[in-house]
Amino acid sequence: MEYRYLGESGFKISEITYGNWVTAGSQIENERAIASVHAALDAGISTFDTADVYANTVAESVLGEALKGQRRQSLEIFTKVFGPTGPKGHNDLGLSRKHIMESIDGSLTRLGTDYVDLYQAHRFDYFTPLEETMQAFADVVRAGKVLYVGVSEWTAQQLRDGAALAKQLGFQLISNQPQYSMLWRVIEGEVVPASKELGISQVVWSPIAQGVLTGKYLPGQQPPEGSRATDDKGGADFIKRWMQDDILNRVQRLKPIADEVGLSLAQLAVAWVLQNENVATAIIGASRPEQVHENVKAAGVTIPAELLSRIDEVLGDAVESDPAQTENSSPKQREA
């Protein structure tokens, strides 16, 4: 495993992060989820990403249980706040001071730790003054409950506004967590340039496009039994945008490129996002330990420029690159 600095800070994280978004507490039983976390530790992964909204807080509890007994100083634990949790009442979501101050305490209890290394605004909150949100983050940092602050799926302008307020309040934004893969490149035009200006790194999720870039989904055929595309607990909804024969055909044409660098298609996909110098880490998920062992082989890989160009040629107009997609990721109306 190799390690990279997160933003313009002295904080280092593993370039592969283990995430438990749609696995722990929802898609798979806890024993298998815990075994996958232990596989990540065995592979040298030290960075773990979760959120209070995942499985309505259960994912944090599962991660806390899985990390019990580990040396805390050797881990980097990330979580997030925004989405509706608990009974999903009128103050159980968003980035209000009330929700942030209550949510951090709940997350710490479930994770079994006195602090989280990175606390992230899971989306941008259009209904709370940004000043209120950033002041609350400043206060949880000063209270020692949070070491660093990041965001997720913020636009370039939102990053600039948030970073300016953070600086005034005596802390810094060091990360943004966007979706990013060979097929989903919406951050490249605006978010990445702004992040470089501001000293913010990307912590990217879905580098294998919800499993599509593994090549296991074949055009004209039913998805494999037990795969995410067959999951009725939410997995199928996230992957359906990619389940088109044209895209699946293009993914199959990437296999010779993966062979040239001695990687599987999944490893190629993870290694691809890590070629972007603004990406500090790629989040991988796993429904079984073997997937962790396979995906970590993408760490430390350099893909030659000529092969990067060939990837672009193969995927062509199947790539989504519209910067407006980032703004669309944050809800414009309240869920509660």
Count other C-beta atoms under 10 Å from residue 2's C-beta: 12
User: Any idea what DSSP says for residue 23?
Assistant: S
Give the residue among 54, 9, 32, 26 at the shortest CA–CA distance from 283.
54
Active site annotation includes 5: no
Phi-psi region of 316 (alpha: psi -120 to 50; beta: other; left: phi over 0): left
Dihedral sign for Cα 84, 86, 90, 93, please: negative
Give the residue ranges of DSSP H helices in 13-79: 30-42, 58-67
Say how far apart CA 265 and CA 259 lie, in whole Å. 8
Residues 6+ apart with CB under 8 A from 142: none
Q: How far apart are CA 188 and CA 191, in angstroms?
A: 6
Strands 12-14 and 3-5: antiparallel
The one catalytic residue among 5, 18, 54, 119: 54
Beta strands in 85-178 (DSSP E): 116-121, 146-151, 173-176
Name the token pair of 249.
């055909």
Residue pair 282/2 in contact (Cβ under 8 Å)? The answer is no
28 forms beta bridges with: 24
Active site positions, annotated = 54
